[in-house]
Structures are given as C-alpha cells and as structure tokens.
Amino acid sequence: MLTPKSSDSPVSSPHLQDGRMRRPIGHRHMPFLPHRGFVGAGAVLLITACITDWTYSTTALWQWANFSAWLITAGLIVLLVAVLSLLIDFATGRAGQLNPASFTLVTAAALLSLINAFVHSRDAWSSVVPQGVLLSAATTLLLVIAGARGWSLAAGKATRDRP
C-alpha cells in the first residue's frame, strides 16, 4: 500500500485554508433567502393573469375569465407564503435590512391583486372588462419593476449588501 507524501496531503495544499477551499476573489457567500423564489413565483402567476384578462377581453370566451380568477387567487396565496418565508428569514437572522422600495412595490401589487380578485368575483363581462384588465396591467407593471430589482424584499446578512 502506498503512503502519501507530506506534499500530497490535502491540508498542505496552497488552495486550502483551515481544511476549506478558499473562494476566488470577488465571490461572496450568498445566503439562501427562500422568500425570493416565492415572490418570483407569485409574480409569474399574477402577470399571467394579466395575459388571460387581455385574452378574455379580446375573445369573450368565459373560461379565460375563470382562469384569470384562479391565477390571481393562486398568486395571492404564493405571495402570502413569501411573506411568511420573509418573516422566518428575519426570525432566523438570515435576512438583514428590509428593502423598502421592493417591499412597497410587491405590497402595492398584492393589494391591487386582492382588489382584482374581488372584481373578478362579479358576473360575466363586467368581472374583467375594463376594471380587471386595468388592475392586472397595473399589477404587472409594479411586478416587472420589482423583478428588475431582483425579487428580494430584504438584504442577506452574510453578504452585507445594500437593500
């Protein structure tokens, strides 16, 4: 059996420090903040509701209105999970400072979507045209801006990045 030489030992490697690999320059550890994924998933559902509202307003096929109502409801539920996940991130100390601009954008979009869910509960054509389409378009605009900011409602503590 061969015995390793002292120079072949992984502990003496120049790339190891205290038994761990050193990170390349400029790379920092990003903490896993699960609320980011939930915000993105909820936004996708709400933006898709805007597309189905527009489709209903151009085709008048009632199933598109039903599909929009389902998408809005599912999007609001996923955003609720995102809020609970954000609270867990704060409670466990993974999340640092709240990002007020993104938080305001996503909160405004969620409130508009809640109003839109009530509008979609009406009957037939008036459930979507014109209020439902306008509310969905405003929600989409807010969520696209929030998406351009990175879906993060809080900065991670480990990175010390600005919110």
Are 110 and 77 in contact by the 8 Å Cβ rule? The answer is: no
Report yes or no on 1 lying in a domain: no
Report yes or no on 109 lying in a domain: yes
DSSP state of 93: T
Report yes or no on 29 lying in a domain: no
Report yes or no on 19 lying in a domain: no
- Exposed, middle or buried, 120 (CB in 10 Å: 0-12/13-18/19+)? buried
Report yes or no on 114 lying in a domain: yes
- What is the count of structural domains for the chain? 1
Reduced to 3 states, what is the DSSP secondary structure of residue 94?
Answer: coil
Rounded-to-integer distance, Cα 40 and Cα 26, Å: 26
Report yes or no on 15 lying in a domain: no
Amino acid at position 94, single letter:
R
Report yes or no on 77 lying in a domain: yes
Report yes or no on 58 lying in a domain: yes
Structural domain range at position 116: 35-156
Tens-of-pLDDT digits for all 163 residues of the chain?
555 555 555 555 555 555 555 555 555 555 678 888 999 999 999 999 999 999 999 999 999 999 999 999 999 999 999 999 999 989 988 888 899 999 999 999 999 999 999 999 988 788 899 999 999 999 999 999 999 998 888 876 654 444 5
The structure tokens listed for 122 are 């009406």
Q: How many H helices and E strands in the chain?
A: 4, 4
